[in-house]
């Protein structure tokens, strides 16, 4: 059993933790980062292997060793979900993600107020626990810019200082500066999507990606190999934390990364402060780190689990849980899907950046009038491969054949052989709302390889408001598929109510300790030297991917920590 001392211990060195490690290290603060997985290198990612990384999910947690269970409601038995969203290595999910990098809309930060002002309080669905964020877009805008420029994001502005720019996302919130890099090259999926959307009077654009369209900061540009989502980048063009912030953290001389470390408890004393963490090493050793500040920046499952596992007599319901909101209000994107297949052209969906190649924002957020639609909020619509990466195995696993075509046999074979290089998937990434009974707690029956209770999700997206949104978006996507001139357009059947992608919530931020777990800096209301960061903080989820917002918030927290907390430790920011 080893004991180490440090200023700050960071549990989970991914999108948020990696930024904190680098920025605190630069300010002379001693940081230890704990990571349960390995630290990989760019050289580990060549050559590409779809079975290993897409199908067997080699960059994600092993669900047998680290189960996360799910049940649709409190009366059902929970079972482990087959795959998890998050990463399992230094750099976290940014190693394997599709690198889609959005700024949220202005109204994404004030969903409750926006809805009530425009549609009246009765438009908020029954049981929905939505609150506004404790900050506005303009507060975060400088940090979005910093994240885009420090990490490297490719895209085209659609709203530069209030001026609309055609070809960018005309619905985006105003930005002070354009992206640091131009958009990635467009492929045939994007060409077809853009033409169809324009024909329908919509506003398509190249999805912003944290993938370098040109050499930047010593890293090479994208080779368009198509192995983005689910894979590590073999040239380091994907702006993952692994190739951006971790080298910066190393260079400070103040950062130590411990890999193979499974944190199982946050330690606290009777004064009401946390004192450090305990973790199991790769050799099953039991170790302790004493620290002035603890930052939990694992994925939402482990952030919530650690708060609950660390209960004491002083904190009988878990740490930072005087509000009772720990583990509550979780959300997940549901991918409403349609498919278009062409007889007269190949689109070779396996080429180019793999995830959400081109997008439209016309049906997202409150960008369209929801009056009489039966739902609030929307979805980002994009075109790309069915499995978010374009290999044949991912497509076979992710694309149901059209009605009339069986799932096996000669007819299926001929369908797949003909259309694999001639199809486009359309995905509506829906902004599902928070409800208090959508929650994570500790599974009383299922344990992980360390003997700890698994995080258990209780969640069912099939609520009237969310169902109406999905049906609306699917109709719009069928229209787009038809406008593409596809020979076949069909939709995917709705699955069970299981959570989809980008799980968020569980330690939400808010304006008061009564309705939330943390303040806008991720600092817990109850324990000022305990921070919880990452998408667990998000009170609402937007129809956009969460990572750039996680990163912008981390830059904002790092600034506040270095400039204010360091001078006056223990006080609320």
Partner 1 sequence: MAKHDESRRKFLVGTAIGAGAAAGAALAPQALAKTAENHGSHVAVNEAASHDAMMPLMGGSHGAFFNDDNARTIAAFAERLMPGAPGKPGATDADVLNYIDLALSGPYADEQDFYRRGLTQLDAHCVAAYGKPFRSLDTTHQDETIAALEHGKSTAFSWPTAQAFFNTVRKHTLEGMFADPIYGGNKDFAGWVLVGFPGAQMMFTAEDMASREAFTREPIVGLQSRLKGKKT
Q: List, by residue number, the catalytic residues.
A: 502
State yes or no: residue 49 binds partner 1 (CB under 8 A): yes
Instruction: Choose which of 39, 79, 146, 234 interacts with partner 1 (CB under 8 A).
Output: 234
Instruction: Report the nearest approach of partner 1 to the CB of residue 325 (Å).
Output: 38
State yes or no: residue 56 binds partner 1 (CB under 8 A): yes
Question: Which are the contacts of 14, defined by CB distance < 8 A and separation ≥ 6?
Answer: 86, 87, 91, 92, 93, 94, 241, 297, 298, 299, 534
The upper half-sphere exposure of residue 332, i.e. CA atoms within 13 Å in the direction of its Cβ, equals: 24
Instruction: Report the nearest approach of partner 1 to the CB of residue 417 (Å).
Output: 5
Q: Which is nearer to partner 1, 109 or 342 (CB)?
A: 342
Structure tokens at 526: 């109850």
Binding segment for partner 1 (CB under 8 A), chosen from 36-44, 131-139, 345-353, 377-385, is 345-353
CA distance 182 to 185: 9
Spell out the alpha helix ranges (H) of 499-546: none
Instruction: Choose which of 119, 149, 224, 494 interacts with partner 1 (CB under 8 A).
Output: 224
Instruction: Choose which of 48, 305, 325, 456 interacts with partner 1 (CB under 8 A).
Output: 48
Instruction: Choose which of 88, 115, 188, 430 interacts with partner 1 (CB under 8 A).
Output: 188
Q: Which is nearer to partner 1, 347 or 452 (CB)?
A: 347
For the beta carbon of residue 21, count every other beta carbon within 10 angstroms.
33
Binding segment for partner 1 (CB under 8 A), chosen from 103-111, 200-208, 349-357, 433-441, is 349-357
Binding segment for partner 1 (CB under 8 A), chosen from 30-38, 210-218, 224-232, 371-379, is 224-232
For the beta carbon of residue 381, count every other beta carbon within 10 angstroms.
29
State yes or no: residue 345 binds partner 1 (CB under 8 A): yes
Cα pseudo-dihedral 437, 439, 441, 445, rounded to 10: 80
Instruction: Report the nearest approach of partner 1 to the CB of residue 171 (Å).
Output: 26
Q: Which is nearer to partner 1, 10 or 399 (CB)?
A: 399
Instruction: Choose which of 129, 297, 421, 491 interacts with partner 1 (CB under 8 A).
Output: 421
DSSP state of 324: S
State yes or no: residue 396 binds partner 1 (CB under 8 A): yes
Three-state DSSP at 438 gives coil
CA distance 56 to 289: 34
Nearest to 522, CA basis, from 509, 535, 505? 509
227 touches 234 (CB < 8 A) = yes
Instruction: Report the nearest approach of partner 1 to the CB of residue 445 (Å).
Output: 19
Q: Which is nearer to partner 1, 55 or 214 (CB)?
A: 55
Structure tokens at 55: 């199908």
Binding segment for partner 1 (CB under 8 A), chosen from 48-56, 287-295, 298-306, 366-374, is 48-56
Which residue reads 């750099």 in tokens? 91
Instruction: Report the nearest approach of partner 1 to the CB of residue 228 (Å).
Output: 13
State yes or no: residue 343 binds partner 1 (CB under 8 A): no
DSSP state of 148: I
Per-residue DSSP letters for 46-88?
-S--HIIIIIS-TTS--TTTS--EEESSTTSPPEE-S--SS--
* Residues 484-498: b if buried by 16+ CB within 10 A, e if exposed: bbbebbbbbeeeebb
Structure tokens at 370: 């929801």
Binding segment for partner 1 (CB under 8 A), chosen from 34-42, 66-74, 321-329, 409-417, is 409-417
State yes or no: residue 393 binds partner 1 (CB under 8 A): yes
State yes or no: residue 81 binds partner 1 (CB under 8 A): no
Beta bridge partners, 380, equal 429
Beta bridge partners, 530, equal 294
Beta bridge partners, 209, equal 100, 154
State yes or no: residue 410 binds partner 1 (CB under 8 A): yes
DSSP state of 43: G
Binding segment for partner 1 (CB under 8 A), chosen from 44-52, 134-142, 168-176, 516-524, is 44-52
Binding segment for partner 1 (CB under 8 A), chosen from 218-226, 270-278, 531-539, 563-571, is 218-226
Instruction: Report the nearest approach of partner 1 to the CB of residue 243 (Å).
Output: 18
State yes or no: residue 346 binds partner 1 (CB under 8 A): yes
Beta bridge partners, 488, equal 341
Structure tokens at 347: 């689109």
State yes or no: residue 187 binds partner 1 (CB under 8 A): yes
* Residues 399-430: b if buried by 16+ CB within 10 A, e if exposed: bebeeebeeeeeeeeebbeebbbbbbbbbbbb
State yes or no: residue 225 binds partner 1 (CB under 8 A): yes
Instruction: Choose which of 347, 433, 532, 541 interacts with partner 1 (CB under 8 A).
Output: 347
State yes or no: residue 226 binds partner 1 (CB under 8 A): yes
CA distance 504 to 304: 11
Instruction: Choose which of 160, 165, 170, 185 interacts with partner 1 (CB under 8 A).
Output: 185
State yes or no: residue 44 binds partner 1 (CB under 8 A): no
Which chain residues interact with partner 1 by CB under 8 A?
46-51, 55-56, 64, 185-188, 223-227, 234, 345-348, 350-352, 391-393, 396-397, 407-410, 412-414, 416-417, 420-421
């Amino acid at each position: 059993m080893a004991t180490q001392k440090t200023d700050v211990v960071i549990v989970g060195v991914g999108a948020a933790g990696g930024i904190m490690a680098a920025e605190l290290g630069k300010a002379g603060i001693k940081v230890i980062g704990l990571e349960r997985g390995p630290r990989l290198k760019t050289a580990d990612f060549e050559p590409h292997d779809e079975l290993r990384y897409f199908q067997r999910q080699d960059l994600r947690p092993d669900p047998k060793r680290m189960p996360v269970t799910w049940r649709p409601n409190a009366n059902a038995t929970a079972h482990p979900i087959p795959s998890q969203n998050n990463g399992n290595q230094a750099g976290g999910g940014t190693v394997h993600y599709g690198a889609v990098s959005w700024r949220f809309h202005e109204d994404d930060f004030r969903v409750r107020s926006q809805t009530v002002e425009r549609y009246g309080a009765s438009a908020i669905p029954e049981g929905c626990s939505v609150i506004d964020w404790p900050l506005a877009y303009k507060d975060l805008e400088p940090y979005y810019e910093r994240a885009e420029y420090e990490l490297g994001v490719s895209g085209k502005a659609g709203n530069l200082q209030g001026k609309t720019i055609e070809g960018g996302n005309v619905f985006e919130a105003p930005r002070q500066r354009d992206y640091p890099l131009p958009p990635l090259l467009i492929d045939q999926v994007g060409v077809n999507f853009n033409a169809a959307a324009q024909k329908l009077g919509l506003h398509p654009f190249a999805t912003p990606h944290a993938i370098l369209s040109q050499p930047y900061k010593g890293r090479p540009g994208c080779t368009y190999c198509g192995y983005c989502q689910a894979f590590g980048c073999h040239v380091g063009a994907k702006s993952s934390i692994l190739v951006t912030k971790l080298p910066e953290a190393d260079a400070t001389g103040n950062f130590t990364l411990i890999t193979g470390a499974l944190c199982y408890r946050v330690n606290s004393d009777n004064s009401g402060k946390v004192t450090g963490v305990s973790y199991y090493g790769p050799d099953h050793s039991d170790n302790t780190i004493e620290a002035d500040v603890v930052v939990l920046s694992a994925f939402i499952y482990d952030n919530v689990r650690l708060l609950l596992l660390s209960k004491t007599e002083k904190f009988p319901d878990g740490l930072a849980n005087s509000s009772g909101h720990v583990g509550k209000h979780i959300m997940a994107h549901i991918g409403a899907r349609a498919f278009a297949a062409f007889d007269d052209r190949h689109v070779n969906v396996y080429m180019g950046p793999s995830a959400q190649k081109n997008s439209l924002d016309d049906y997202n957020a409150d960008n369209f009038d929801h009056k009489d639609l039966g739902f609030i909020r929307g979805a980002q619509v994009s075109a790309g491969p069915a499995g978010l990466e374009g290999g044949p195995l991912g497509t076979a696993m992710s694309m149901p054949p059209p009605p009339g075509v069986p799932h096996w046999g000669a007819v299926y074979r001929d369908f797949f052989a003909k259309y694999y290089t001639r199809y486009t998937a359309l995905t509506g990434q829906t902004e599902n709302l928070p409800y208090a009974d959508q929650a994570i707690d500790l599974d009383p029956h299922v344990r992980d390889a360390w003997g700890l209770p698994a995080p258990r999700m209780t969640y069912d997206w099939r609520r009237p408001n969310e169902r109406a949104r999905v049906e609306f978006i699917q109709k719009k996507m069928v229209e787009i598929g038809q406008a593409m001139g596809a020979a076949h357009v069909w939709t995917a059947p709705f699955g069970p109510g299981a959570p989809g992608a980008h799980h968020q919530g569980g330690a939400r931020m808010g304006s008061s300790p009564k309705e939330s777990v943390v303040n806008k800096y991720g600092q817990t209301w109850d324990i000022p030297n305990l921070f919880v960061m990452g998408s667990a903080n998000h009170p609402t989820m937007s129809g956009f991917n969460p990572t750039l917002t996680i990163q912008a918030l981390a830059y904002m927290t790092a600034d506040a920590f270095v400039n204010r907390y360091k001078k006056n430790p223990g006080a609320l920011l």
